[in-house]
Structures are given as structure tokens and as C-alpha cells.
Chains A and B, each alone.
Chain A
Amino acid sequence: MTSSSAHPRKALSKIACNRLQKELVEWQVNPPTGFKHKVTDNLQRWIIDVNGAPGTLYANETYQLQVDFPEHYPMEAPQVIFIPTAPLHPHIYSNGHICLVSNTMDSMNQNICVICLMKKMSFSSFSDILYDSWSPAMTVNSICISILSMLSSSTAKQRPADNDQYVKNCRNGRSPKETRWWFHDDKV
């Protein structure tokens, strides 16, 4: 059901623990709208319920996010995927992997993506906050808000153009971070 990377996860470092505990407390006081954290005693994996915002394509729909924190969080980005069944969205693959382009490019990102054949090309106009543009100042809270914004700005409930190819490629449990730069181009 969930696809995490093939190698076992290392336990959280002390810095990661402290920071996550603080984020948890802040979440309880000030949760992002439309999100609910499912309480477990596992600090390293958060399961979050997502409610589609009213007035959007996903209104009244609920999905689940799985957030896995690496040993060196926040120096390293967490792995964020939807637990299938993932919402139908041009940037969300059917296995739950997300291609998250930051909000600064909102006007461009909805339907404009570029295919990159497994090679990293320099897109100075795009940023990919879950992968290469991660900053330790980002929090689960800010990631959730970005994801909701991505959902809300979608104009079509459809899978990415290269969905089948991508999912096949990830079959051996590859994490989204390993299959980077799988963007998709509607023009093709």
C-alpha cells in the first residue's frame, strides 16, 4: 500500500526529534485548515487526513497523506506521498507520488510541465520544494498548505500524462525522491 524506499529507515536524530515534537505541539495549537493529524506514537511517520477545500474540484473528498521523516530532518526533506487511492490530479501519480511545484510559480505550473528523460535539467523558473528546493525552514504545516493549494488550483481531475510509465518505473518500491525530475508535458 505504501511505497517507501527499499532500504530501512534510520531512526530520527536528536535534532529531528526535538524539531518534530515542536512541530507537533504547534500543529495541535494551530493546525492548517483542511488537515487533521492522526495521532499515533510514531513521531517518524505522520498520517494526515486531507479534506478538499470547498469550491474546488476536490470539495468534500478526503485523502490521506503519509509523511516520513529522515534521520537528518530538517536538513533533509521528508518523503510525502498520498496513500492510494490518490486524488486525480495532473501532478499526482496513481501510486501516490507527488510532483510539488512551489506556489511562486502558480500561474505557470498548472498545465505547463516539461519532460525530462531521467536527466536533471536546470529549470531556473521552477522549484520543487519536496525534492531539490527544500529548505529547513519549511515545516509539515507549510508543506500541507502547499499541497492544498496545488489541489485547489487544479482544473482537471486527471492523472499525469506519463502516469503508467512512471508507476511502472517505481514498482520496486522506489521513493519519489529517487525518481526525480519526472515532470510531464501536456504539449506532448
Chain B
Amino acid sequence: MVSDSALSAAAKQAEQLRKDGNIYFKKDRFAAAIDAYTEAITLCPNVPVYWTNRALCHRKRNDWLKVEEDCRRAIQLDHSSVKAHYMLGLALLKKKELDEGVKELLKALDLGRGANPKGYMVDEIWQEIAKAKYLLWEHATSKHAWELQSLKYVIPRKYFLDDQPEGFLDEADISHMKQLETLRQVFRKAGEADIPDEVPDHLCCKITLDIFCDPVISPSGVTYERSVILEHLQKVGKFDPITREPLDQSQLFPNLAIKEAVQAYLDKHGWAYKMD
């Protein structure tokens, strides 16, 4: 039976090891950091931070299997660990398990936004999600395009099974050709959403000229990207960039309707996830 004082001694030692690990990490000495965290884990296996810290070291060394292991363990200990879900998501993406990876990233984004909406982690997580969604869209489109292509060739061929003497077009032929043209139009329309185009103006910020990530609206009714309008208020002046009315940070509110519209647009036009 371990006494209380022995337990707290172990905890203290584990914390010291964690601090050592952090120092090694800062100096890019990842192997040493891993050793320190491992010792900490051995002493106190139920502290989620030790696992996520170690996972971060594995990530630096691109040891994705170990990242996954450590993250899963951390999640078991703490369902709401942003870092654990985030790194697990990344690890799954590396394994090409795109759907599962995106799910974990979204969970991390959700938890991260709840904790600290303006934190740098939220931006980073969102970037990774956008990359993954773009990849998903690429896969889906090329599969889609291939299917459309093969259909395009298969169906018309079926129409002209009977050999007709050249130059002689009867009414049946003409109506066939009309149907073919209609069919081609249907295929063209089906592929339209997949063609990269310009994102409509009302879904873009007037300062970044890019699609909204976190839109907020000013009292003048103009919507801006949150991070950019805050930067403007801080660096340029306390006025609405477009109407020049006086503007303060406290007067900005999230534009939930535009946010939903952006999400709907991205769901339909996956190519728009490409944000570089």
C-alpha cells in the first residue's frame, strides 16, 4: 500500500521531469525530452499533459504512429484536450484516413474555440482542416470526373448501335441527337460545382479579399474578417474602413448568417478550401 507522501513525492518528481522535458524541447533535443516525459509517465501515468507533451515530440520527429498512440491515451484521460484531438487528427491524416482525421480536427477546433476563440491554435487547426478538406474534394472530384467521363462515352455509343448510311438522317436520328445534346448539358451542369471559380463577393471580406473564416459585422452593416478588422482598429484607426464611421471593438458582433452561408458554399464547392 503506497502512502500518501510517497504519492505526492512521485507527483513532484514527475512535474520536475516534465519541466526538464520542456527545456529539452525548447532546445530541440527531442529524444531527451521524450525520455524525460516517459519517466514522468512511468511515475504518474494518469496525467494527460505528459502524454500530449510526448506526442508533440513524436510529431517533431514525424513518428506518427507514436503520436497516435500517445494522443489516444491522452484522450482517454481527458476528452477535452484540444492538443490531443488536434495531433490525433494530424496523425490520421498522415495515414490517409482523411475522414477520421478531419473529424478529430473538427473536435479540436470546437474545443479550442470554446476555450479561446482568438488563440493561435484555432487558426492553425483551421488551416489543417482546410488543407484536408481540399484533399478530400480533390479525391472526390477526380473520382466524380472519371465517372462522368465514362458515362459520357458509354451512353452515346448505345444510341448509335444501328449503322445508318451516311448522309441520311431520319427523324429518329434527329431526336437522338437532341437528346444527346440535352444529356451533355446535364453532364456539364453536374460538373460545374467542381470547377474552381471565383468565390462570390458577399462571402468575401473587403480587406482580405478572401472568403470569410470568422465574420463579424459593424454597426454600419459591413462584415469583416474578425482578425483583420481588429488589426485595423489597433493599427490604422478606430473607424469603419468602408463607411469611416467611428468604430470600436466592442461594437463588432459575429455575423452568424454569413458564417453559415460560407459553410454551405464550402460544402458545395470544395475547391474553395484551397487557401494559400
Q: Say yes or no for A74: interface residue by CB 8 A criterion.
A: yes
User: Are A26 and B209 within 8 A (Cβ)?
Assistant: yes
User: Are A72 and B235 within 8 A (Cβ)?
Assistant: yes
CB-based nearest A residue for B209:
A22
Q: Say yes or no for B244: interface residue by CB 8 A criterion.
A: yes
With known contacts A135-B242, A135-B244, A22–B236 Cβ distance under 8 A? no
Q: Which residues does chain B contribute within 8 Å of A134, judged by CB atoms?
A: 236
A22 CA to B231 CA in the complex, in Å? 20
CB-based nearest B residue for A26:
B209
CB-based nearest B residue for A139:
B209
Q: Say yes or no for A23: interface residue by CB 8 A criterion.
A: yes
Q: Which of B215-265 contact A (CB under 8 A)?
A: 228, 231-232, 235-236, 239, 241-242, 244
Q: Which of A118-144 contact B (CB under 8 A)?
A: 134-137
CB-based nearest B residue for A132:
B237
User: Are A137 and B241 within 8 A (Cβ)?
Assistant: yes
Question: Which one of B206, B210, B276 contacts A137 once the chains associate, using CB atoms below 8 Å?
Answer: B206
**How many interface contacts (CB-CB < 8 Å) are there between A and B?**
37
Q: Say yes or no for B208: interface residue by CB 8 A criterion.
A: yes
With known contacts A72-B235, A75-B231, A135-B236, A18–B241 Cβ distance under 8 A? no
B245 to chain A, nearest CB (A): 12
User: Are A19 and B209 within 8 A (Cβ)?
Assistant: yes
- Give the size range of B's interface with the partner: 10 to 19
Q: Say yes or no for B190: interface residue by CB 8 A criterion.
A: no
* Residues of A bordering B, CB below 8 Å: 15, 18-19, 22-23, 26, 72, 74-76, 134-137
Q: Say yes or no for B207: interface residue by CB 8 A criterion.
A: yes
User: Are B241 and A136 within 8 A (Cβ)?
Assistant: yes
A135 CA to B232 CA in the complex, in Å? 9
Q: Which residues does chain B contribute within 8 Å of A137, judged by CB atoms?
A: 206-207, 241-242
CB<8 Å pairs between A and B, sample of 5:
A18-B210, A22-B208, A134-B236, A135-B236, A137-B206
Q: Which residues does chain B contribute within 8 Å of A23, judged by CB atoms?
A: 209
User: Are B208 and A18 within 8 A (Cβ)?
Assistant: yes
A25 to chain B, nearest CB (A): 8
A72 to chain B, nearest CB (A): 7
A18 CA to B211 CA in the complex, in Å? 12
B46 to chain A, nearest CB (A): 41
Q: Which residues does chain A contribute within 8 Å of B244, judged by CB atoms?
A: 135
Q: Which residues does chain A contribute within 8 Å of B206, judged by CB atoms?
A: 137
Question: Which one of A15, A26, A75 contacts B236 once the chains associate, using CB atoms below 8 Å?
Answer: A75
